[in-house]
Amino acid sequence: MKSLLPYVSTPEDLRALPAELLPGLAREIRDFLIDKVSANGGHLGSNLGIVELTIALHRVFDSPGDAIVFDTGHQAYVHKILTGRRGAFDELRRRGGLSGYPSRQESAHDHLDSSHASTALAYADGMAKARRLVGGDPRPVVAVVGDGALTGGVAWEALNNLGAAKHHEDNPVIVVLNDNGRSYAATFGACADHLERLRAAAADVTVFEQLGLRYLGPVDGHDIPALERALRAARELREPVVVHCVTVKGRGYEPAEQDLDEHLHAIPVTDPATGQPLKPAATTWTHVFSQHLCLLGERRPDLVAITAAMPGPTGLAAFGRRFPERMFDVGIAEQQAMASAAGMAMSGLHPVVAIYATFLNRAFDQVLMDIALHRLPVTLVLDRAGITGPDGPSHHGMWDLAALSVVPGMRVAAPRDAVRLRELLEEAVAHDGPTALRFPKAPAEAEIAATGRAGDVDVLSSTGQDVLLVAVGPMAEPCLGAAAMLSAAGLGVTVVDPRWVIPVSSDLRELARGSGLVVTVEDGLAASGAGALLRQVCPPGLRVLNLGLPCEFVPQGGRSELLAEAGLTGPGIAHAVREELRAWPL
């Protein structure tokens, strides 16, 4: 049979296909996804599960006039295929290539750039209100949301507003609930229990109806005719409605269906025949943290762990298997994670909250007012800090140092290698106030031994005090490279690692006072991170150069590639120092 996929580049092409050809098209799309995502890495399981649903959406709704908004945009690959971007998948998630999330720069069919969970319903509520105020015939707004995203509080805030909007005439907001029983791991909690009862037809009234929305379903999310009927019925209602679609994550690809932990949610470059990575997994910072937390858990019965729906990616799964009664998954709800941790700490426990650094932003108020205000012993472990790579601007963990630098009483550690990660984790959980530990998404660095110690500060190398290079965490290695280049040119250079970078220690201030030029290097914002704090406490007249990331949204690309573009390599740091000294000689 002739391939259909090359002839389907727009929603109009899709709507022109006879219904009997659609199952074949769905199979071709799955084969295409397996091939391209295996070659580049990316989100596979979530997209395999939404093939038929995306086909039905684009046959029923007229995008982009009818807005289709994807919550947690990693499930938008099929949408991209059907809106003219199939040919760009060879460059998926590469620098300058196809984004792994919706992107307004790529297509008019994409209405968002953000890819943090639980927000699409609020976007849809706002878009519908604006369309109603502008006048004319309001076009439908469709929010595609996974059941995992319903564990986030902002989703329920939006549902609360959408339910109230039933009193307005002609408010066509359609919430398409893509229910596969999972986020990264299995979804659980009261909402998950309710959806399970709905799937089993064991609930008389849905929570959505109680909130004021209409409810249609459950619908087999892999039955295109049934999906089209339900979506057309929802469109005709012209009021807020939930269409409950039951799907299978990883559908149609045996390795994904057999991966019971995450259904190949996100994969590296992989053998498509087996679903196994082509390169052996390196020991990562996450793995080192995971192992040592389990050891600490053996010694400390008061130690508990909290995850926001990511036990595997943040390294807490092993702790949960070892100490199941001391591991808590709160769902995609970082605010709940932090406030709950505060309650536990008030009651005699020491919580370790492990989240991605980019998601710390979502819980800043709780860190500030619930944890820090009460000076509670809570340890935040910030995975994927700094540049994360191909996930792009919404996932770079580059704001954590800037945010935590203004939190009174907060101590932040940045290990330079695996040995220091273990040491600093032990110090963090022994502290009687709030602490944070940050590390990148990367293989764990080989040990970088100190050559000396100045109080709390590790001295990594020293040929003199012309230049003091202050390395924040994994920036130690490029700082040592820069020091070698500068020393060869006749400068006296000392490289130090403060270990605890927030607040600035008195020992680091003393080292800075004796230097001609102080240069801080961090993979956070140059203008407002750990280096900026040091600049503030240095005496007037002391020259301080802060190197780091620009205050802008950094695009997707390889981690090393993006760090090089920001000048955060040995040659880049050495060049910045030379330029500074050329402008203002010692």
Evaluated on CA atoms 229, 120, 215, 137, the torsion sign reads negative
Over residues 506-512, the mean pLDDT reads 96
| Same domain, yes or no: 158 and 303 | no
Last residue of a domain, one of 369, 403, 438: 438
Separation CA 152–CA 191 (nearest Å): 11
334 labeled part of a ligand binding site? yes
| Same domain, yes or no: 292 and 245 | no
**Residue 444: inside a domain:** no
Residue 389 CA, chain-centre distance (Å), reads 11
Structure confidence at residue 188 as a pLDDT band (50, 70, 90): confident
79 labeled part of a ligand binding site? no
Residue 554 CA, chain-centre distance (Å), reads 14
3-class secondary structure, 172? coil
Separation CA 562–CA 387 (nearest Å): 7
Separation CA 250–CA 241 (nearest Å): 27
CATH number at residue 522: 3.40.50.920
Structure confidence at residue 168 as a pLDDT band (50, 70, 90): low
259 labeled part of a ligand binding site? no
Separation CA 48–CA 77 (nearest Å): 9
Residue 514 pLDDT more than 70? Answer: yes
pLDDT reported for residue 263? 83
**Residue 338: inside a domain:** yes
Residue 409 pLDDT more than 70? Answer: yes
Residue among 545, 485, 488 nearest 515 (CA): 545
Q: Which domain holds residue 464?
A: 452-583
pLDDT reported for residue 2? 81
Distances (CA, A) of 344 to 201, 297, 341, 353: 37, 16, 5, 11
pTM of this prediction? 0.94
Provide DSSP, 346-378.
Answer: HTT-EEEEEEEHHHHGGGHHHIIIIIITTT---
117 labeled part of a ligand binding site? yes
Last residue of a domain, one of 415, 438, 461: 438
The proportion of the chain whose per-residue pLDDT surpasses 70, expressed as a percent, equals 99
Over residues 191-217, the mean pLDDT reads 92
Separation CA 331–CA 565 (nearest Å): 36
pLDDT reported for residue 440? 96
Query: How would you list the strands of the sheet with 452-454, edge to edge?
Result: 452-454, 457-462, 493-497, 467-471, 517-525, 543-549
pLDDT reported for residue 260? 75
**Within a 10 A sphere around the Cβ of 547, how many other Cβ atoms?**
26
pLDDT reported for residue 1? 64
| Same domain, yes or no: 260 and 291 | no
pLDDT digits over 518-540, tens only? 999 999 999 999 999 999 999 98
109 labeled part of a ligand binding site? no
Over residues 344-369, the mean pLDDT reads 97
**Residue 297: inside a domain:** yes
16-52 as b/e: b if 16+ CB within 10 A: ebeeeebeebbebbbebbbebbbebbbbbbbbbbbbb
pLDDT digits over 296-320, tens only? 999 999 999 999 999 999 999 999 9
The proportion of the chain whose per-residue pLDDT surpasses 90, expressed as a percent, equals 88
Phi, psi for 382 (deg, rounded to 5): -105, 95
| Same domain, yes or no: 21 and 153 | yes
Over residues 192-210, the mean pLDDT reads 91
**Residue 445: inside a domain:** no
| Same domain, yes or no: 244 and 99 | yes
CATH number at residue 349: 3.40.50.970
| Same domain, yes or no: 252 and 196 | yes
| Same domain, yes or no: 302 and 235 | no
Residue 169 pLDDT more than 80? Answer: no
Q: DSSP class of residue 555?
A: -
Structure confidence at residue 115 as a pLDDT band (50, 70, 90): confident
Over residues 568-584, the mean pLDDT reads 95
pLDDT digits over 37-89, tens only? 999 999 999 999 999 999 999 999 999 999 999 998 899 999 999 999 999 99
Last residue of a domain, one of 438, 460, 481: 438
Residue 134 pLDDT more than 90? Answer: no
Over residues 473-495, the mean pLDDT reads 97
pLDDT reported for residue 550? 96
| Same domain, yes or no: 334 and 398 | yes
Structure confidence at residue 163 as a pLDDT band (50, 70, 90): very high
**Residue 443: inside a domain:** no
pLDDT reported for residue 262? 81
Over residues 407-417, the mean pLDDT reads 98
| Same domain, yes or no: 237 and 302 | no
116 labeled part of a ligand binding site? yes
3-class secondary structure, 29? helix
Residue among 112, 145, 116, 173 nearest 46 (CA): 145
74 labeled part of a ligand binding site? yes
Is-contact 394 74, C-beta < 8 A? no
| Same domain, yes or no: 400 and 517 | no
pLDDT reported for residue 138? 85
pLDDT reported for residue 82? 98
Q: Is 394 exposed, middle or buried (0-12, 13-18, 19+ CB in 10 A)?
A: middle
Query: How would you list the strands of the sheet with 67-70, edge to edge?
Result: 67-70, 141-146, 173-179, 241-246, 214-220
**Residue 446: inside a domain:** no
| Same domain, yes or no: 462 and 324 | no
Length of the chain in residues, anyone? 586
| Same domain, yes or no: 13 and 125 | yes
**Residue 316: inside a domain:** yes
Number of domain units in the chain: 3
Residue 166 pLDDT more than 70? Answer: no
**Residue 277: inside a domain:** no
Mean pLDDT over each residue of the chain, to the nearest integer: 94
3-class secondary structure, 152? coil
Structure confidence at residue 380 as a pLDDT band (50, 70, 90): very high
Over residues 338-346, the mean pLDDT reads 98
Instruction: List active site positions.
Output: 249, 334, 362
pLDDT reported for residue 167? 61
Phi, psi for 25 (deg, rounded to 5): -65, -40
